[in-house]
């Protein structure tokens, strides 16, 4: 089987909205797969902004870059919430029995629940402020109470976002190892290949921890 040989011998090419659009790439075949790609792409954008932040000397420019990290983080939280819903709704099977289609073991479900529990705790602390920053001085500029505006700029620090990043990193990188995702591509022969194998972390890049 061509796809299995590829998985064993080398990392398959996974669709990327900017860097990998070729016919050989595996494209998402389900909503869960699309959400995973979205999460990876947002994380990549945040890493790019972070690198610029660390190389920048102007304090104002650093604040502007951090503001866009917050905007991206808000989008990432929304995506991770949807990924969590897919995981929590996934059927659970007994390993002693035959595995069905897109199911989790009890152990996988328990690990997922614990990781998302930690994610939810960290999100609860910072989400309100992240939404306010996005809505008032970020993606929208709806606030002209300058005292509030100054407060939003002052609260926009690495300490606001860093506690949320680690739980997201751990949860998403674990979830990507689960049998919840579908991938497909059209071969040179014009046939459609559908992957029924799990694309484990060794097959494509994990989120690098920020």
> How many other β-carbons are positioned within 10 Å of the β-carbon of residue 11?
12
Residue 111 belongs to some domain of the structure:
yes
Phi and psi at 25, nearest 5°, equal: -75, 150
Residue 34 belongs to some domain of the structure:
yes
Residue 46 belongs to some domain of the structure:
yes
Residue 210 belongs to some domain of the structure:
no
Q: Among 92-96, 111-115, 151-155, which is the least confidently predicted range? A: 92-96
- pLDDT value of position 210: 47
Portion of the chain with pLDDT greater than 90, in percent: 59
Residue 116 belongs to some domain of the structure:
yes
**Residue 40 vs residue 95, higher pLDDT:** 40
What's the whole-number mean pLDDT along residues 163-180?
94
Q: Given pLDDT bands bounded at 50, 70 and 90, which one contains residue 1?
A: very low
Distance separating alpha carbons of residues 97 and 81, to the nearest angstrom: 30
Specify which of 80-94, 108-122, 187-201 reaches the highest per-range mean pLDDT.
108-122
pTM of the model as a whole: 0.83
Residues in Cβ contact with 157 at an 8 Å cutoff, skipping those fewer than 6 apart: 66
Distance separating alpha carbons of residues 203 and 6, to the nearest angstrom: 10
Portion of the chain with pLDDT greater than 70, in percent: 80
The range of the structural domain enclosing residue 137 comes to 26-89+100-202
What total of structural domains would you count in the chain? 1
Residue 179 belongs to some domain of the structure:
yes
Query: pLDDT tens digits, residue range 81-103?
Result: 999 999 999 998 876 766 667 78
Residue 95 belongs to some domain of the structure:
no
Residue 5 belongs to some domain of the structure:
no
Residue 167 near residue 122 (C-beta atoms within 8 A): yes
Specify which of 12-21, 88-97, 170-179 reaches the highest per-range mean pLDDT.
170-179
Helix (H), strand (E), coil (C) string for the chain = CHHHHHHHHCCCCECECCCECCCCCEEECCHHHHHHHHHHHHHHHHHHHHHHHHHCCCHHHHHHHHHHHHHHHHHHHHHHHHHHHHHHHCCEECCCCCCCCCCEEHHHHHHHHHHHHHHHHHHHHHHHHHHHHHHHHHCCCCCCCHHHHHHHHHHCCHHHHHHHHHHHHHHHHHHCCCCCCCEEEECCCCCEEEECCCCCHHHCCCCCCC
Query: pLDDT tens digits, residue range 50-84?
Result: 999 999 999 999 999 999 999 999 999 999 999 99
């Amino acid at each position: 089987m061509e796809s299995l040989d590829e998985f064993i011998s080398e990392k398959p090419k996974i669709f990327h909205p900017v860097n990998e659009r070729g016919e050989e790439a595996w494209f998402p075949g389900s909503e869960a797969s699309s959400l995973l790609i979205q999460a990876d792409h947002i994380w990549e954008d945040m890493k790019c902004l972070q690198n610029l932040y660390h190389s920048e000397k102007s304090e104002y420019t650093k604040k502007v870059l951090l503001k866009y990290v917050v905007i991206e983080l808000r989008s990432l939280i929304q995506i991770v919430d949807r990924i969590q819903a897919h995981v929590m709704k996934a059927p659970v099977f007994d390993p002693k029995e035959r595995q069905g289609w897109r199911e989790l073991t009890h152990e996988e479900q328990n690990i997922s629940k614990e990781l998302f529990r930690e994610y939810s705790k960290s999100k609860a602390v910072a989400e309100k402020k992240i939404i306010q920053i996005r809505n008032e001085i970020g993606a929208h500029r709806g606030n002209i109470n300058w005292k509030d505006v100054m407060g939003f700029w002052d609260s926009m620090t690495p300490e606001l976002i860093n506690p949320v990043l680690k739980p997201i990193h751990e949860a998403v990188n674990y979830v990507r190892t689960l049998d919840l995702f579908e991938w497909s591509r059209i071969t040179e022969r014009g046939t459609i290949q559908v992957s029924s194998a799990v694309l484990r972390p060794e097959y494509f890049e994990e989120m690098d921890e920020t």
